[in-house]
Chain A
Amino acid sequence: MTTGNGSTTTATPLARSAWDVVVVGGGHAGLEAALAAARLGARCALVTHAISEIGRMPCNPAIGGLGKGHLVREIDVLGGQMGQAIDQTGIQFRMLNTKKGPAVQSPRAQADKHDYQRYMREVVLAQPGLDVIEGDVVDILADMLVGDGGGVDRLNCGDAIQPVGGTHHPQVCRRVRGVLLADGRDIKGAAVVLSSGTFLRGLMHVGARQTIGGREGAASAEGLSESLRKLGLQLRRLKTGTPPRLWRDSIDYTQLQPQPGDAEPKPFSLRTAVFAPVQVECHQVWTNAATHAVIRANLSRSPLYGGIIEGQGPRYCPSIEDKVVRFADKERHLLFLEPEGRDDPEVYVNGLSTSLPDDVQEAIVHALPGLGHARLARYGYAVEYDSIPSWQISGALEAQPVAGLYLAGQVLGTSGYEEAAAQGLVAGVNAVRGLAGDAPLALPRDTSYLGVLVDDLVTKDITEPYRMFTSRAEHRLHLRCDNAEERLGSLALELGLLDARGRAVLQARTAYAEGLAALLAAAAVRPATGGAVVHASQYMLYPGVDLEGALAAAVAHDPAAADRLSALRGALAVAAPAPPGRAGAEAQVENGLKYGGYIAKQARLLAQRGTLEECAMPDDLDYNSMSALSFEAREKLSRVRPATLGQAGRIDGVRAGDLAVLTVFLRRHRGRAVETGGDDEGQV
Chain B
Amino acid sequence: MNHQRSAPVTATVVARATPEGEGGLAVVRISGPEAMSIARRVFLGPGFGPAAPLPPTPRRAVYGILHAPVDLQDIEEQALDIIDEALALPMPGPHSYTGEDTVEFFCHGGRQVAAAVVRACQAAGAVAAPPGEFTRRAFLNGRLTLDQAEAVADLITAGSEQAARAAVAQLRGGLDAELGAVEWPLLDLLVRLEGALEFSDDDGVSVPVAEVRLTLAEAIAGIDRLLALAPAGRLLREGIHIALAGAPNAGKSSLFNRLVGDDRALVDAEPGTTRDVVAASVRRGGRLYVLHDTAGLRDEAGRVESMGIARARETAAGADLVLLLAEAGQAWPSLALPAVGAPPVLRVATKGDLDGAAAGSRCAGASRGGDGAAGGATAPHSTCAGASASAPMASAPMASAPIITSAVTGAGLDTLWAAIEHQVETWNLDEAVSLGVVLNERHRQRLLEGRDELSQLVALYDDGADPGEEVAGTLLAATLARLGEISGRVFSEQLLDGVFRRFCVGK
Question: Interface residues, chain A, CB within 8 Å of chain B?
Answer: 66-67, 96-97, 99-101, 103-104, 316, 333-334, 469-471, 474, 476-477, 543, 595, 598, 601-602, 605, 608-612, 624-628, 630, 649, 655-657, 659-661, 663-665, 675-679, 681-684
Contacts and interface: CB of A to CB of B under 8 A. Distances in A.
B39 to A, nearest CB: 19
B3, B7, B197, B200: which has the most chain A beta carbons within 10 Å?
A: B197
A369 B201 CA distance: 21
A477 B484 CA distance: 22
Contacts of A678: 11, 127-128
Interface of B: 1, 3, 5-11, 13, 127-128, 130, 132-133, 136, 139-142, 145-146, 194, 197-198, 200-204, 206, 464-465, 468-471, 473-475, 477-478, 481, 484, 488-496, 500
B128, B130, B484, B500: which has the most chain A beta carbons within 10 Å?
A: B130
A97 B489 contact: no
Nearest to A655: B489
A104 B1 CA distance: 58
B146 A657 contact: yes
Contact of B6 (A334, A477, A627, A681): A627
A474 B474 CA distance: 7
A681 B494 CA distance: 26
Given A97-B200, A675-B130, A682-B10, A659 B491 contact: yes
Given A612-B493, A628-B8, A660-B496, A100 B146 contact: no
Contacts of A471: 194, 197-198, 473
A100 B496 contact: no
B141 A677 contact: no
A409 B5 CA distance: 39
A676 B136 contact: yes
Contact of B7 (A469, A602, A627): A627
B488 A657 contact: yes
Contacts of B471: 101, 477, 595, 598
A609 B465 CA distance: 29
A610 B494 contact: yes
9 contacts: A66-B201, A101-B471, A601-B478, A627-B141, A656-B488, A660-B491, A661-B140, A663-B491, A678-B11
B197 A96 contact: no
Given A630-B142, A682-B9, A656 B477 contact: no
Contacts of A682: 3, 8-10
A316 B202 CA distance: 12
Nearest to A654: B491
Contacts of B469: 100-101, 104
B491 A656 contact: yes
Contact of B203 (A334, A664, A683): A334
Contacts of B206: 99
Contacts of B500: 675
A664 B9 contact: no
A676 B133 contact: yes
A679 B493 contact: no
A609 B492 contact: yes
A97, A316, A469, A679: which has the most chain B beta carbons within 10 Å?
A: A679
Contacts of A605: 478, 481
B495 A660 contact: yes
A470 B478 contact: no
Given A474-B477, A543-B464, A610-B494, 12 more contacts: A66-B201, A100-B197, A101-B469, A316-B198, A333-B202, A476-B470, A598-B475, A609-B481, A609-B494, A660-B488, A677-B127, A681-B11
A657 B142 contact: yes
Contacts of B11: 678-679, 681
A611 B469 CA distance: 29
A602 B478 contact: yes
A611 B142 CA distance: 24
Given A100-B469, A681-B11, A611 B493 contact: yes
Contacts of B7: 627
Contacts of A103: 470
Contact of B9 (A101, A469, A656, A683): A683
8 closest residue pairs by CB, A with B? A682-B9, A610-B493, A656-B491, A101-B468, A628-B140, A659-B491, A471-B194, A609-B492
A2 B130 CA distance: 74
Contact of B493 (A601, A602, A630, A663): A663
B6 A625 contact: yes
Given A660-B495, A664-B140, A677-B130, A684 B9 contact: yes
A477 B474 contact: yes
Contact of B470 (A316, A477, A684): A477
Contacts of B142: 628, 630, 657
Contacts of A675: 130, 132, 500
Contacts of A684: 9
A627 B470 contact: no
B139 A470 contact: no
Contacts of A601: 478
B163 to A, nearest CB: 26
A100 B488 contact: no
A518 to B, nearest CB: 26
Contact of B141 (A610, A624, A628): A628
Given A627-B6, A682-B9, A682-B10, A656 B493 contact: no
Given A665-B9, A679-B11, A682-B9, A470 B3 contact: no
Given A471-B194, A476-B470, A660-B491, A100 B139 contact: no
A433 to B, nearest CB: 32
B1 A681 contact: yes
A663 B496 contact: yes
A684 B146 CA distance: 23
A659 B9 CA distance: 16
Contacts of A602: 474, 478
B145 A657 contact: yes
A655 B473 CA distance: 22
A452 to B, nearest CB: 14
Contact of B468 (A100, A656, A681): A100
Contacts of A610: 492-494
A490 B477 CA distance: 30
Nearest to B201: A96
A661 B496 CA distance: 10
Nearest to A678: B127
A96 B9 CA distance: 53
A471 B190 CA distance: 10
Contact of B491 (A611, A627, A649): A649
Contacts of B141: 627-628
Contacts of B5: 624-625, 683
A659 B132 CA distance: 19
A677 to B, nearest CB: 6
A119 B468 CA distance: 39
Nearest to B191: A471
Contact of B197 (A97, A608, A625, A649): A97
A626 B9 contact: yes
B13, B200, B474: which has the most chain A beta carbons within 10 Å?
A: B474
Nearest to B198: A469
Nearest to B489: A656
B256 to A, nearest CB: 40
B146 A660 contact: yes
B456 to A, nearest CB: 9
A66 B500 CA distance: 45
Contacts of B491: 612, 649, 656-657, 659-660, 663
A476 B474 contact: yes
A680 to B, nearest CB: 8
A648 to B, nearest CB: 10
A683 B3 CA distance: 9
Given A678-B11, A681-B11, A66 B198 contact: yes
A455 to B, nearest CB: 17
B470 A664 contact: no
Nearest to B1: A681
Contacts of A665: 9
